């Protein structure tokens, strides 16, 4: 009898121990499933964020490359001018022809900055409100008031604007438009002398800037000279 009682007690203890182990294993399994689910959720959310960020970065890069302005040509007016009682025979006016790059939706020239520098001075210019809807029939440099500018402003002369987007109130250029950005070199540098290295940049709100670099001729007998 005693042996049978001991045997029953042993099997009862063994069953209780196995049940405890089974419950513990189930708890560990559930915890692992929960942790794996949370980790998977975090990974999916992170991958979505990285994908969205990559798409935005790619679009921004595309806009920077395909949008912006391109410097098409630069011409200068050479002659003699009295500046503060001194006669300087130099390049006194400059006109920069720019066009919008193919991916450009619209460039507001009112928010555009032009920097121009020689070896001794750098000027930063913005649009000063001087605007001409077309150049003079006598030439760009004969356009009335187009070059009545100080050292911190540039003017605008419209060359091509099929959709009439560039006006005196909203000077916006887009694909297919061509305008001249005018600079009074006398106000900026007392004119540009011969063999001067000039560098500049047209910085727009969005897109690639228009960059130019040239050296003024050693001598010239012409009043209008292509510089770039």
Mean pLDDT value across residues 188-213: 92
Specify the 3-state DSSP secondary structure of 212: strand
Which pLDDT belongs to residue 219? 85
Mean pLDDT value across residues 183-190: 95
Whole-number Å distance between alpha carbons of 197 and 48: 50
Residue ranges covered by each domain of the chain: 1-66, 68-226
Phi and psi based region of residue 129 (left: phi greater than 0; alpha: psi -120 to 50; beta: remaining): left
Are residues 77 and 224 in contact, defined by beta-carbon separation less than 8 angstroms?
Answer: yes
Which pLDDT belongs to residue 38? 73
Q: Which stretch of DSSP H or E encloses residue 52? A: helix 2-66
**pLDDT greater than 60 at residue 57:** no
Global model pTM greater than 0.95: no
Other beta carbons within 10 angstroms of residue 101's beta carbon come to 17
Tell me which of 26-35, 120-129, 158-167 is least confident: 26-35
Are residues 65 and 146 in contact, defined by beta-carbon separation less than 8 angstroms?
Answer: no
Whole-number Å distance between alpha carbons of 14 and 124: 90
**CA 225 and chain centroid, separation:** 30
Confidence of residue 65 (pLDDT cuts 50, 70, 90): low
E strands in 41-173:
69-83, 86-100, 107-108, 113-117, 122-132, 153-160, 172-173
Which pLDDT belongs to residue 158? 95
What tens digit of pLDDT does each residue of 97-117 get? 999 888 778 899 999 999 999
């Amino acid at each position: 009898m005693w042996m049978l009682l001991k045997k029953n007690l042993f099997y009862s203890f063994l069953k209780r121990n196995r049940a405890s182990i089974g419950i513990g294993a189930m708890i560990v399994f559930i915890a692992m499933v929960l942790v794996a689910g949370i980790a998977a959720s975090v990974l999916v959310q992170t991958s979505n964020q990285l994908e969205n960020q990559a798409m935005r970065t790619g679009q921004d890069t595309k806009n920077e490359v395909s949008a912006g302005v391109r410097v098409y040509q630069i011409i200068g007016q050479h002659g003699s001018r009295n500046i503060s009682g001194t006669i300087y025979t130099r390049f006194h006016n400059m006109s920069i022809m720019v066009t919008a790059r193919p991916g450009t939706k619209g460039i507001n020239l009112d928010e555009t900055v032009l920097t121009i520098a020689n070896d001794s001075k750098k000027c930063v210019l913005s649009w000063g409100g001087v605007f001409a809807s077309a150049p003079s029939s006598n030439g760009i440099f004969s356009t009335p008031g187009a070059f009545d500018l100080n050292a911190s402003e540039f003017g605008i002369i419209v060359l091509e604007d099929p959709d009439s987007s560039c006006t005196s109130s909203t000077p916006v250029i887009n694909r297919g438009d061509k305008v001249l950005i005018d600079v009074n070199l006398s106000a900026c540098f007392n004119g540009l002398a011969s063999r001067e290295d000039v560098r500049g940049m047209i910085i727009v709100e969005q897109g690639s800037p228009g960059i130019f670099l040239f050296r003024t001729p050693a001598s010239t007998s012409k009043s209008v000279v292509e510089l770039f």
